[in-house]
């Protein structure tokens, strides 16, 4: 059996760590292409100037358009070439990070997230969009980023909703990795570089990936609530440090080397509902995780544990919570069909999944989530009387 595990060359996390960015640039050379939205650059301008002076390096600002498109990637590769850049930096959120991966193509890449909203920073994959913002393709590169640099001080000052969304994305990691392992399904870690249509690698998950995914889940349960309170007050605590690590590193390694399953596929299907578009990826994945647990008939104690965690940190537990206030049978069927297309990760579940089964699981999960939410509200009212 062929197994695979992939990870960044170096992961560094700490307070005010952005001040050391210049050092990591200097390990490649003197000049770095900086791919970041202008607002993110403005937030950390002082730290960038300080680290550049301290380590004798320079940043080439790219005028990033904000969209990870093939045209923008080609433009930025030319900017890097014209300025003899020794490495590429992706600083900010998902689009800047994915664009930097495409520009670097697996070489000399430093990722600096300014929010902990997803587990994408550590991965060797990216999502390409058209210039108008529609989905184009997935891209995979020969290796993960050379350096992932996490400044917890900066992340603590970002809106708490980003951190909570990251917990929603991380919540699915263990359950999807567990399903993938049970099914002996393939994981992304074994893929060669190239675009999705060129994929030919097949590999199964390792025990290492499943262990990291499980640790991710336990960390969320132990530190999620405390980390949320810390972020509300823009404070870096041990709990916040642990959750940032869970959201980015543990979840990142867990999803890429452990595998995706129903939760992310159901997320993809539910995006057909326009009401979901104002909600973040991780928020929708959290509900997708609940649907997956219903789909596999998970023990009630496990489902209740997940529901309780979601409510404790403010993650969705029903369709209303992700902007779906009403739906028709046909609309729900279309969403389920999208979740079940041949290339979706739902087929990594350890049993055959049908459109009808997904519809039933969504409706049931919605009902269970609503009832659980009402029950917790009643208990809260009794406690306060």
- To the query of whether residue 380 is one of the catalytic residues in this protein, the response is no
Which residue ranges are tagged as binding site?
A: 94-98, 119, 123, 129, 169, 264, 281
Q: Give the pLDDT of residue 385.
A: 66
Q: DSSP character for 107?
A: S
Which residue ranges are tagged as binding site for NAD(+)?
A: 94-98, 123, 129
Q: Which of 133-147, 172-186, 281-295 has the lowest mean pLDDT?
A: 133-147
215, 14 contact by CB (below 8 A): no
* 356-375: pLDDT as tens digits: 999 999 999 999 999 999 99
The answer for residues whose C-beta is within 8 angstroms of residue 137's C-beta and 6 or more apart is 127, 128, 195, 196, 197
Instruction: Give the whole-angstrom CA distance, residue 273 versus residue 275.
Output: 5
Q: Which of 40, 151, 223, 281 is catalytic?
A: 281
Instruction: Give the whole-angstrom CA distance, residue 62 versus residue 302.
Output: 47
241, 13 contact by CB (below 8 A): yes
Q: Give the pLDDT of residue 198.
A: 45
Q: Which of 40, 264, 268, 366 is catalytic?
A: 264
Which residue ranges are tagged as binding site for glycerol?
A: 119, 169, 264, 281
Instruction: Give the whole-angstrom CA distance, residue 103 versus residue 19.
Output: 24
Instruction: Give the whole-angstrom CA distance, residue 186 versus residue 202.
Output: 6
Indicate if the pLDDT at residue 93 is higher than 70. Answer: yes
* 69-81: pLDDT as tens digits: 999 999 999 999 9
Name the band, by pLDDT with cuts 50, 70 and 90, for residue 378: confident
| Overall average pLDDT of the 243-249 stretch | 98
| Overall average pLDDT of the 25-37 stretch | 98
Tell me the CA end-to-end span of the chain in Å, nearest whole number: 60
Please, what are the domains in the chain? Answer: 10-156 (3.40.50.1970), 164-186+206-237+260-380 (1.20.1090.10)
Indicate if the pLDDT at residue 218 is higher than 90. Answer: yes
- To the query of whether residue 264 is one of the catalytic residues in this protein, the response is yes
* 5-16: pLDDT as tens digits: 999 999 999 999
Q: Give the pLDDT of residue 190.
A: 75
* 35-54: pLDDT as tens digits: 999 999 999 999 999 999 99
CA dihedral 146, 152, 156, 157 (to 10 degrees): -70
| Overall average pLDDT of the 308-328 stretch | 97
Q: Give the pLDDT of residue 195.
A: 47
Q: In what order do the strands lie in the sheet with 58-61?
A: 10-14, 147-151, 109-113, 87-92, 31-35, 58-61
Name the band, by pLDDT with cuts 50, 70 and 90, for residue 85: very high
| Overall average pLDDT of the 20-37 stretch | 98
Q: Give the pLDDT of residue 111.
A: 98
Name the band, by pLDDT with cuts 50, 70 and 90, for residue 133: confident
Q: Give the pLDDT of residue 225.
A: 98
Q: Which of 124, 223, 267, 366 is catalytic?
A: 267
Percent of the chain with pLDDT over 70: 97
Instruction: Give the whole-angstrom CA distance, residue 177 versus residue 151.
Output: 28
């Amino acid at each position: 059996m062929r197994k695979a595990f992939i990870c960044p060359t170096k992961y560094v996390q700490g307070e005010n760590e952005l001040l050391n960015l210049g050092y990591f640039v200097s390990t490649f050379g003197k000049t770095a292409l900086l791919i970041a939205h202008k607002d993110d650059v403005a937030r950390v301008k002082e730290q960038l100037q300080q680290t550049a002076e301290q380590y004798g390096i320079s940043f080439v600002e790219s005028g990033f358009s904000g969209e990870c498109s093939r045209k923008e990637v080609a433009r930025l590769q030319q900017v890097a070439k014209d300025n003899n850049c020794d490495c590429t930096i992706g600083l900010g959120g998902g689009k800047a990070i994915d664009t930097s991966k495409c520009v670097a193509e697996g070489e000399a890449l430093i990722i600096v997230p300014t929010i902990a909203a997803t587990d994408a920073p550590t991965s060797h994959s990216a999502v390409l969009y058209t210039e108008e913002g529609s989905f184009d393709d997935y891209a995979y590169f020969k290796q993960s980023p050379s350096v992932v640099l996490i400044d917890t001080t900066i992340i603590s000052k970002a809106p708490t909703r980003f951190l909570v969304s990251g917990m929603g994305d991380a919540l699915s990691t263990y359950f999807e990795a567990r399903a993938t392992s049970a099914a002996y399904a393939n994981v992304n870690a074994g893929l060669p570089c190239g675009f999705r249509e060129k994929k030919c690698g097949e590999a199964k998950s390792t025990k290492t990936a499943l262990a990291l995914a499980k640790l991710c889940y336990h960390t969320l349960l132990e530190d999620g609530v405390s980390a949320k309170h810390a972020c509300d007050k823009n404070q870096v605590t041990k709990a916040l440090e642990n959750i940032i690590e869970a959201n980015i590193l543990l979840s990142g390694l867990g999803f890429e080397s452990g595998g995706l399953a129903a939760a992310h596929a159901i997320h993809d299907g539910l995006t057909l509902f326009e009401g979901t578009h104002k909600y973040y990826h991780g928020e929708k994945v959290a509900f997708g995780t609940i649907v997956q647990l219903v789909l596999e008939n998970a023990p009630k104690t496990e489902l209740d544990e997940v529901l309780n965690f979601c409510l404790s940190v403010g993650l969705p537990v029903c369709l209303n919570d992700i902007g779906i206030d009403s739906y028709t049978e046909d609309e729900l069927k279309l969403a389920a069909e999208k979740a079940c297309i041949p290339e979706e990760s739902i087929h990594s579940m350890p049993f055959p999944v049908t459109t009808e089964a997904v519809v039933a699981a969504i409706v049931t999960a919605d009902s269970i989530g609503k009832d659980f939410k009402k029950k917790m509200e009643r208990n809260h009212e009794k406690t306060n009387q």
